[in-house]
Structure 1
Amino acid sequence: MAAPAMDRVSRPLRVLCTTQPGVSHLLPMVPVLRALRRRGHEVLVASAPRLAPQITKTGLRAVPMGVDFIIGQEHTFVPALAAARARRDVSFAYTRTVLVDALASAAVTDLRSLVRAWRPDIVVRDPVEFGGFAIAEALGVPHVTGRENRFLSTAAWASELGESLTPLARLAGVDALDAGQLYRYLGLAPTLPSLIAATPKLPNAREFDRHVGPTLRFVRPESYCGDAQSGRANGAHRGGPRVLVTFGTVFHDQPDLMRRMLVAASSLPARFTVITGPGIDPAGFHPAPANVFLTDFAPLGAVLPGCAAVVTVGGLGTVLAAIEHGVPMVVMPINADQPTNAARCEHLGIGITVPVATATPATIAAAIIRVLTDDVVRARVAQLAAELRSLPSADEAAELVETVARTGESVPDLVESTAR
């Protein structure tokens, strides 16, 4: 049901973004979505209703789809996941059981109605949101991944997905879906090539690897700044280097680790901005040390300027934002891609890993002192910041999306036709 080719060429485009309901899923795609809107196109972002306030804050328009939840709460409606987490089963098939069987299947009905009524010219999707992929394939709409972070080969994706795409295809109204279609038009990777290629040995190559396919294009990541009010944490506690502490937006509920972090902070001649994360009341950690400012949220782009170090669990968004602002890291990985990102930071010499299981106030404090005082670490992260700035901009990425939408061709096909 894609719009006729001549119509796509002659008018502004309709761009539908589909994303899992998590800030770390949404924000990496925002620069390109905003660039598309600046270029005169209409942009809708489809996700769970609970993400709507965050979507609206970015200046984009939200539409509801699928299960109403926030990333991190999947176990509340997928009993098999809750059971697997209780028994610490790391082999649980999360992608097929949660992302496809539960979430994509629930999203397909809403997306089919939206796509048929609104007739988007292209779908820009979170690479772990498979409902948008299924409906785009079923209705003949080109689709682009907007925030690549897993870098899996087609064979790895096929193994990860198993047979889950077969019932999803039936729900979407198409004969079949396969892993080879996931990136057949274009994949945008707002990340640093050096980070992805940093080390051939990764902690969980089944889920996070280093494959760069022919349709993948690296673009410059940009940390979200929010509104002007969001930078107010910058002025807290004058004197000494400033350190940002953030445990992200998914695995942030770590009260014991946070208390160890605050004890470490109290022993250091530095001022700390500590982001507890959504749903975590900073008052629960009062009285905080005198050199600590606690807040539940602050956009990284607003608080990182002027920071001398970052303490993070190693989510990709925080890692890239730290590199963007030339700030070395202490990484305490907990789950998902965090061990992979920690290994990459260590290999590149831009961060120090402190294992959570053995982290004490003393070991955390020692790691912070090291990244604050190690000139080699600071020089290396500055080099990577320069590499990041050299990547194509969000506007250049938006131009690629436009071209795919208007032609219906994949990026390699476009390059080949241009060469001819």
Structure 2
Amino acid sequence: MAARAAGHHVVIATGAGLTTGLGLETWPIGAANAPFSRGGTAAERAAFFASSAARRTEDLLPRAEAWRPDLIVSDTAEVAGAVAAAATGARHVVHGLGIMPPMVLWNAYALHLDGLLARWGLLSTSVDAARDVTYLDVCPPTLRRQGERIWTNTLDLRPTTVSRGTAPPMRALPHRNTVLARPQSPADAAAILSALRNQPINLLLEADPSSFGPQPANVLIATNFPDAEVLPHCAALISSGGPGVLLPALGHGLPQLILSTEPTAPPEGEITHAGAALTAATPVPAAAEQAVRTHLPRLVEDPDFASAAAWIQVEIAAMSSPEAIVRALTTEGVPALR
């Protein structure tokens, strides 16, 4: 959106059947996205995304070669972007999605990328060259992984979201603290509601309102609560911990309760994310309900969590805005976007 506002021609290439909802030109590439499980080894995760990259590359390359973009931005899980950049000579930029993946994951991706480059006759492009590109790092410094980094040529990009729609009427809520819940599934939504609807806390629950009956005055249910309208009024966030949800909330200084289905998630509430979150393993909805009942009061009442989140908020505020990044990529030695 920042690039379009600056007068550049922007195209989004995404899975067949998907749209951005932002009014941008969209190219459908590859098959419709298949469900993804967060579990498995690094190699298995890499294989999940890379297995469909060949089909996406087949759709993307003819369009990209005809359009001749000056800059291609792809995320850390998308090897088709690197192939398209090599084929067209476009400058390639990798957009981070959260914490930069570990080297073990890059090694798995590199095998698939090398195969695709060979398949398309791009033998003059080495896999190592894909590590020399600019990386837009949306992860605040405190949360970054230690050890060798895949990409060392980085620009810090403030994590933001684009608000869609409008919030439902925010009637006067009866309690001092308000919590926003973004559950991973309808079952988790029901579990969170059961845990909090009769507690002295206001709950903003993102779910299908038609799935639930009348609620007490402290509960609002809507399919979407735009960040800009609700996060400044919240004391905490409940979610599954995905970076697209977690980082914008930390940008507002919100401590978080993460209900994780990861195989390696802690069995009990564990302080994570530099002290700004509590994480609990919730393989079933009953575990999610118990985790909310047990850990949310501590998260809201202990000021140490808010202090840790506030420190990360300061770090995020110091990161470059999307507008500044667009200027850097288009005026400081990088070819302009179309």
Query: TM-score interval w.r.t. the shorter chain?
Result: 0.7 to 0.9
Q: Deviations over 1:299-352 (max 9, x none)?
A: 33332120111111111122111111121111111249x959x99962522122
State the 1:179 CA deviation.
Answer: 4.2
CA distance in 2, matches of 1:380, 1:348: 7
Pairing of 1:74-85 with structure 2 (within 5 A):
74=35
Q: Structure 1-normalised TM-score?
A: 0.70
1:61 lines up with 2:25 in the alignment: yes
CA distance in 1, matches of 2:31, 2:125: 22
- Identical amino acids, percent of aligned pairs: 23
Indicate which of 242, 245, 253 corresponds to 1:318: 245
CA spacing shift, 1:168–1:360, aligned 2, 3 Å: closer
SS for the counterpart of 1:267 is coil
Indicate which of 352, 367, 379 corresponds to 2:278: 352
Deviates further, 118-127 or 390-399: 390-399
1:189 lines up with 2:121 in the alignment: no
CA distance in 2, matches of 1:242, 1:74: 32
State the 1:123 CA deviation.
Answer: 0.2
**Runs of 4+ with deviation above 4 angstroms:** 176-179, 287-290, 342-345
CA distance in 1, matches of 2:287, 2:172: 26
State the 1:290 CA deviation.
Answer: 5.0
CA spacing shift, 1:355–1:36, aligned 2, 3 Å: same
CA distance in 2, matches of 1:399, 1:339: 40
1:272 lines up with 2:239 in the alignment: no
CA spacing shift, 1:344–1:406, aligned 2, 3 Å: farther
Q: Deviations over 1:66-116 (max 9, x none)?
A: 1123xxx347xxxxxxxxx7xx972384344331222x1111122111112
1:259 lines up with 2:190 in the alignment: yes
CA distance in 1, matches of 2:186, 2:130: 35
Aligned pairs, how many?
332
SS for the counterpart of 2:319 is coil
CA spacing shift, 1:167–1:361, aligned 2, 3 Å: closer
For residue 73 of structure 2, what is the aligned residue in structure 1? 124
1:48 lines up with 2:15 in the alignment: yes
Pairing of 1:212-291 with structure 2 (within 5 A):
213-227=151-165, 230-232=166-168, 235-236=170-171, 238-240=173-175, 241-247=177-183, 252-253=184-185, 255=187, 257-276=188-207, 281-286=208-213, 288=215, 291=218
Q: Which has the higher helix share?
A: 1
| Contact 2:42–2:105, Cα closer than 8 Å, also in 1 | no
CA spacing shift, 1:344–1:269, aligned 2, 3 Å: closer
CA distance in 2, matches of 1:399, 1:355: 42
Give the letter aligned to residue 165 of structure 1: L
Give the letter aligned to residue 405 of structure 1: V
Give the letter aligned to residue 46 of structure 1: A
For residue 156 of structure 1, what is the aligned residue in structure 2? 104
State the 1:370 CA deviation.
Answer: 1.6
Give the letter aligned to residue 10 of structure 2: V
For residue 203 of structure 1, what is the aligned residue in structure 2? none
Q: Deviations over 1:108-165 (max 9, x none)?
A: 1221111122110010112211112112112221100123435245x52443226322
For residue 297 of structure 1, what is the aligned residue in structure 2? 224
Q: Deviations over 1:347-390 (max 9, x none)?
A: 52212222214836454123221222222222222222122111
For residue 169 of structure 1, what is the aligned residue in structure 2? 117
CA distance in 2, matches of 1:394, 1:343: 35
For residue 98 of structure 1, what is the aligned residue in structure 2? 48
Residue ranges of structure 2 left out of the alignment (5+ in a row)? none
Q: Structure 2-normalised TM-score?
A: 0.85
| Contact 1:192–1:388, Cα closer than 8 Å, also in 2 | yes
1:134 lines up with 2:70 in the alignment: no
SS for the counterpart of 1:406 is coil
| Contact 1:329–1:351, Cα closer than 8 Å, also in 2 | yes
CA spacing shift, 1:177–1:288, aligned 2, 3 Å: farther
